[in-house]
Structure formats: structure tokens, C-alpha cells
Chains A and B, each alone.
Chain A
């Protein structure tokens, strides 16, 4: 038998199973309607869960991009003080982040697609549940045992198929979100452990920043000494643009020595 024929049979048998349990077929209508409402709120929660995961990934992308920017600045600063080795280290770390960002962006696109799919599923189910409610009331109002079984059967099969479909869609979304949450959790841990943000926190355990700080304080001392000896140019110490000037003087000095 072909795949679709088998799947079609499975969905029909599921819808029919629900019907067998009730003594009064009308009860099964109310029972099924309750289940539909429960499923609807489950889909709504599902949409919200996926949205939360998507926002979390967005936040992580932002954090990593900020760190990329900081590493870029560090590389520039290192080059300014003629430390290619430090610049290389900063750029290497930056390229490591680029891979993680690309991976997160893929996850983000997946979550967004999943969110859209679930939102549409929610709308479809909502329309069917509303149709079922109307039909349920009609059947109950005009109930005659002879007709009821067929009509109820039709209504239940129609809604049962949608419910089966939506139920599986939620399951798939949950599975996908769980995998991504595990990966997002790993990145959060990495961020919390400082393995990533130490690199950018100024003067805090980051070797690149530490070396750069050491270099610039050395430069400051040299500048102050020069100022004392020369008895002038105090503005060279006070303002920050002058700091850059000092750094470039320092570099010039380094070049002379080399």
C-alpha cells in the first residue's frame, strides 16, 4: 500500500477511536471540543516558546557581534603600537566568533520559520475548532439517534485529522527548539565562564587587553618623563587625542630602534 494511503488510514482510525468510547454520542462532541481547546492553548504556548528561543538567539548574536567589534578595535590598537602578534591573536579570536555567529544566524532563521509555521497551524486549527463548535450545537439541537452517529462521525473525523496534524507539528517544533536551546545554553555558559567576554573586558584577565594596557601605561610614563625633562607640553598627558599622539611617537621610536 502506498505511503499516503497508509497515512490517511492512520488519521481516520485515530478519529474513529475517540468515538467508540462514549455511550451517548453527544458526550463525545463536548469531550472532543474540550480537547480541541486544550490543543489550541498548547499551540499558543508552542508559538510563545519558539519566539522566546528566537529572541534568546538574537541576543546572543548581538553579544557576539559586539565582541567582534571590540576584538577588531584591539587588533587596530595592537597594530598602532606595532604589536602584530597581538593583532594576529585578536583577529584569530574574531574569526572564531564569526563561525559561531554564522551558526547562530542559521538557527535564528530556522526558529523564525518554525514560528511562522506554528502560527499558521494555530490559525487553521482555530478556524476548524470554530466550525466544529457550530456543527456540534446544530447536531445537539436536532439530535435523532439515527442520524447522529454519521454526522458526529464526520465532524470528529474532520477535526481529528487537524488535531493529529497540529499535535505532530507542535512535537516537531518542541524537538527542534530543545536541540537549539541546548546549543544556546552552551553559548550562554561560554559567555558566563568568561572564555568569550574576557577577551573584551578591559583590564580583566584578558591577555591581549592586559598587554595593550601595559604598553599604553609604559607610553604614558615615557611621555611624562619627556614632559618633565622638556619642562613643557603638559597637554600631551591630559587629553586623550594626545594619548594617540604619544602612541604614534612610541611607534616611531620603535621603528628607529629596529
Chain B
């Protein structure tokens, strides 16, 4: 599985880690739903740190599409909402 962290590039993460990734992602979801900036920052930092330790850098000279794209380190709740709002994919 290829995971892109925006601003950092792509990582290869073993499919077996998907459960751990989903657990971390659930925390992020909850923080977004609650509009809790602090919890969001912490959850995002955890998720990105997880990807960095679980994964290895994907070869740069490939044109492979990522399976997962994650916000950049230090992104705020508003920034992530903007990213998603741009294309009107976020409901409400």
C-alpha cells in the first residue's frame, strides 16, 4: 500500500498495517467531527508518525498512484476543510 503524506512524499506501508492506520484515522475523524482543533492536531501527528515508522520511502522515480493521501504535518482543521471543500466533496 502506498501512502502519501502531503509535503513529504510517498511511503510504502505493508497492507497488514491497515488496521493500525484505520485506528489512528478514526481518532482523526472524531476530532474533525467534534471540531476539536487540539485533538485534531494530536491525532494527525500520531497518524503521520505511524506512517513514517510503519513505512519506508517509496522510490521517487516511479509514477505510482497513492492508495492513501494524508494532510501535511501541522495542518490545521481549517486547512484540511479547505482542501476538501475545494472540490465540494465534503458534505455540509
Contacts and interface: CB of A to CB of B under 8 A. Distances in A.
B60 A127 contact: yes
B66 A8 contact: yes
Contacts of A10: 69, 83-84, 86-87, 89
Contacts of B84: 3, 6-7, 10
A161 B66 contact: yes
What bracket does the count of chain B residues touching chain A fall in? 20 to 34
B54 interface: no
B9 interface: yes
Given A2-B29, A4-B68, A4-B69, A128 B60 contact: yes
A6 B6 contact: no
Contacts of B6: 165, 168-169
State the 3 A-B residue pairs at the shortest beta-carbon distance, nearest first.
A158-B63, A127-B60, A7-B69
Contact of A8 (B8, B67, B80, B86): B67
A49 B87 CA distance: 29
Nearest to A159: B63
Contact of B63 (A4, A11, A128): A128
Nearest to A13: B87
Interface of B: 4, 6-9, 25, 28-29, 32, 60-72, 80, 83-84, 86-87, 89-90
Contacts of B65: 12, 15, 154, 157-158, 161
Contact of A3 (B25, B61, B66): B25
Contacts of A132: 63
Contacts of B66: 8, 11, 161
Nearest to A10: B87
Contact of B80 (A3, A121, A130, A172): A3
Contact of A165 (B7, B29, B64, B68): B7
A18 B90 CA distance: 22
Interface of A: prevailing SS? helix
Nearest to B79: A172
Contacts of B86: 10
Interface residues of A, number: 35
Given A3-B25, A13-B87, A117-B7, A8 B63 contact: no
A161 B7 contact: no
Interface in A123-161: 123-124, 127-128, 130-132, 135, 154-155, 157-159, 161
A169 B86 CA distance: 16
Given A10-B87, A128-B60, A172 B67 contact: no
B63 A165 contact: no
B60 A124 contact: yes
B33 to A, nearest CB: 10
A4 B25 contact: yes
Given A15-B65, A132-B63, A165-B6, 10 more contacts: A4-B25, A8-B67, A8-B69, A10-B69, A10-B87, A11-B66, A121-B9, A157-B63, A158-B64, A169-B7
A7 B32 CA distance: 14
Contacts of B4: 11, 161, 165
